[in-house]
Amino acid sequence: MTPVQIIFLVVSLMLLVSAFMVVTVRNLVRAALWLISTLFMTAVVFVLLDAGFLAVVQVVVYIGAIAILFIFAVMLTRRVMADTGPQTNANGWWVGLSSLALFAGITWILLGWGGSSADAPIFPAGLDTVTDLGMGLVDPNGFILPFEVASVLLLAALIGAIVVAWDRDN
């Protein structure tokens, strides 16, 4: 066991416990807070994978924007559920079983696949992924089209969210 492996195991344990709390905890505000913990642990996993920029984006976009949006939505719609009574529908046990079966199936396939025990190649010295990413996203021979499509999608989603949530009666 190297220190990196121990760090990975601790982080992934915290990630999975947080994710489990997100899907099972009764109070939805608490679920949103557990979601923040899950997203933060995912950022740590990105750091372990040498993707520091993505970790920063994860914290800024996911925790800073999406999780806060979730907390707003929970608080705006909270009176209905009152956080009592069962939060799961009648299929709870079947869904749990099939999720477990899915996990077991994926793990079984992974263990049978030879490439899954590969070690990471040495990270190339002097490789600046942030610059590469920035150049790639605006390079006409690179990813400028997906980048622009994502921009238009975000604009459309912004306008769509305003229109959908508009209270026309007031």
Partner 1 sequence: MIPLSWYLILAAALFSLGLFGVLSRKNAVAILMGVELMLNAVNINLVAFWRYSAPEVIAGQVFTIIVFAVSAAEVAVGLALVISLYRRRQTVIAENIDLLRW
Record the tokens describing residue 33, joined without a space: 């807070």
Pick one of 76, 82, 140, 148: the residue that binds partner 1 (CB under 8 A). Answer: 76
Contacts of 67 (CB under 8 A, 6+ apart): 32, 35, 36, 39
* 89 φ/ψ sector (left φ>0, alpha ψ -120 to 50, else beta): beta
Residue 40 in contact with partner 1, rule: CB under 8 A: no
Q: Contact at 8 Å (CB) between 63 and 98?
A: no
Gap between the Cα atoms of 36 and 63, Å rounded: 6
Residue 52 in contact with partner 1, rule: CB under 8 A: no
Residue 82 in contact with partner 1, rule: CB under 8 A: no
Pick one of 14, 30, 48, 59: the residue that binds partner 1 (CB under 8 A). Answer: 48
Residue 92 in contact with partner 1, rule: CB under 8 A: yes
Residue 106 in contact with partner 1, rule: CB under 8 A: yes
Shortest Å distance, C-beta 140 to partner 1: 14
Q: Could you say which residues in the range 107-166 bind partner 1, by CB under 8 A?
A: 107, 110-111, 115-121, 123-124, 127, 129, 132-133, 136-137, 142-143, 146, 150-151, 153-154, 156-158, 160-162, 164-165
Gap between the Cα atoms of 144 and 117, Å rounded: 34
